Amino acid sequence: MLRRLAILLVLVCPWALAAPQRYTIDTDNTAIRLSWHAFGGILSWARFIGVTGDVTLNPDNDLDDRIHVTVPVATLVASNSLLTWQLKSDMFFEAERYPTIDFTSSRVVAQGSGRYRVFGTLTVRALSRPVILEAVVKDAHAHLLTLDATTAISRAAYGMDKFALVVDDRIAIAIAIQASAVPSL
């Protein structure tokens, strides 16, 4: 009898089911940092701000989890002004022709203890490649979500192979996202 009542409650009261929680990325508190080695080991870096997007997490079904991020290339700032100019130019990101970088997840897999493996597609210069991010989520059920993720990509895979003799191909990416919960309707 109790089982039938529970099934009836679920069927009649869809709000009794846990719903995915949507978050909107807080542009002012989100940044992406790139780093690589050049000239035999010198660490270089660049960062992006102005990141927008949203995160959806469902604690009951990770198939509902989604992350979408848009990065404006014009916000790129590197460790010096010459490098900033080079990275935005047609030597690398081609900021005027390709003003944004996009990431869209295809699957977010919970690893336990707030750790996730995020599978998705990174699009840079109209070239889309699969990537896997290792992420840590803090306070996933709170009003404010903090997500830190890391990955590494090949810059040549995105057609950015200039200076291959002096700049490493591997680019490390560190992502720090803060997002605010979107109120349920």
The pLDDT of residue 140: 62
When pLDDT is averaged across residues 54-82 and rounded to a whole number, the result is: 92
Tell the burial category of 54 from Cβ atoms under 10 Å away from its Cβ (0-12, 13-18, 19+).
middle
The overall average pLDDT reported for the chain is 88
Tokens of 69: 């991020």
pLDDT at 60 over 90: no
How many of the other CB atoms lie within 10 Å of CB of 13?
Answer: 9
How many of the other CB atoms lie within 10 Å of CB of 123?
Answer: 17
Model's pTM, two decimal places? 0.86
In contact, 28 and 156? CB cutoff 8 Å: no
pLDDT-derived band at 142 (thresholds 50, 70, 90) equals confident
Phi, psi of 20 (to 5 degrees): -60, 145
More confident residue, 13 or 164: 164
The pLDDT of residue 15: 40
Q: Which residues contact 102 (CB under 8 A, 6 or more apart)?
A: 68, 69, 70, 71, 122, 123
